[in-house]
Amino acid sequence: MNSIEKHTLFIKTAASRLGFSYCGIAKAARLDEDARRLEAWLNQGMQGNMKYMENHFDLRIDPARLVPGAQSVITLLMNYYPAHTQQAANPKISKYAYGKDYHEVIRAKLNQLLQLMNQEIGQVTGRGFVDSAPVLERSWAQKSGLGWIGKNGNLINKQQGSFFFISTLIVDIPLQYDDPMAKDYCGTCRKCIDACPTDAINENKVVDGSKCISYFTIELKDMMIPENMQGKFDNWMFGCDACQDVCPWNRFSQPNTEPEFTPIPELLEFSLADWQELTEESFKRIFRHSPLKRAKFDGIRRNLRFLQQ
């Protein structure tokens, strides 16, 4: 086994020990094809008010702009599928938000992985990213052989579906690269397209972010949700899993084993009345480490009002 193979094996073994479900590695290079798709998506205004999607375009498509001398992009998947879900009648929350904020959990693990690499391999310059920087995570995951991009825009893994957080670690050392996922296993299935409450998914595997329930309930900062969305939210209060819940590949989903993703009890139990009676002080206390804090108390109240109109 040569040094590159040895280093690659160490990284994948360490990633598994840290709780990552899958680890794939691709050669760092410009993502020119992805750049064209992103540019077309932005030109059609599908980012809505998410202006940050328009920023740092060059950084998104060239890993060397983020890590000088970048040679490898390590992609890591972490399962968040919960063992228990909400009561059917309660205001619905996307499963990724059941436990502790994934940014905090995964960022710490990426830092640990980079530290372990420096101890084992030597001086490695790298940066970890988890949904917080201009990185096209799903493209790198596909190039690393971890899955394909489904019609709903999610990365789908053949063994366990799509309920995964995706993070990347860009490093300046050569590694053994995985074969990209060349095949799309969605076939003629259109369950996600038909299930989307707001018709945000089109036939060309393009998701109109400006129509997505997750956009309206999390990203949109206006205190009014457009009236033309009235009656279309299917009781989703924060995020939306409609397209994932119907995906046939998610029949293979397994409950995660990460203690930090254990659902907050109130989140699973709260009825509509409980949410309506919740004070801002209690919200900040109960959800201080939760992704729900991103919408803030006023945003949650706005979403609840919209569901009841």
Residues identified as active-site: 131
Give the pLDDT score at 76: 98
- Mean pLDDT over 100-109 rounds to 95
Give the pLDDT score at 53: 46
What digits encode the pLDDT tens for the residues 16-26?
A: 999 999 999 99
Q: Which residues are 74's β-sheet partners?
A: 25, 169
Q: 250 pLDDT exceeds 70?
A: yes
Give the pLDDT score at 227: 86
Average pLDDT of every residue of the chain: 89
Give the pLDDT score at 44: 55
Q: With bands split at pLDDT 50, 70 and 90, how would you rate the model's confidence at 170?
A: very high
Report the amino acid identity of residue 280.
E
DSSP 177: P
Q: Where are the domains of the chain?
A: 1-309
Name 131's Cβ contacts closer than 8 Å, sequence gap at least 6.
102, 103, 137, 165, 166, 167
Give the pLDDT score at 103: 93
If one compares 199 and 133, the residue with the highest pLDDT of the two is 199
Q: Which of 287, 267, 261, 266 is nearest to 105 (CA)?
A: 261
Q: 32 pLDDT exceeds 90?
A: no
Query: In Å, what is the CA distance from 302 to each residue of 66, 87, 94, 244, 289?
Result: 37, 22, 17, 25, 21
- Mean pLDDT over 225-252 rounds to 94
Structure tokens at 249: 């590949």
pTM of the model: 0.90
- Mean pLDDT over 179-195 rounds to 94
Q: With bands split at pLDDT 50, 70 and 90, how would you rate the model's confidence at 63?
A: confident
Give the pLDDT score at 54: 45
Structure tokens at 180: 């990209």
CA–CA dist 161, 90 (Å, integer): 25
Give the pLDDT score at 45: 52
> What percentage of the chain exceeds 70 in pLDDT?
89
DSSP 252: G
> What percentage of the chain exceeds 90 in pLDDT?
72
What digits encode the pLDDT tens for the residues 64-98?
A: 888 899 999 999 999 999 999 998 899 999 999 99
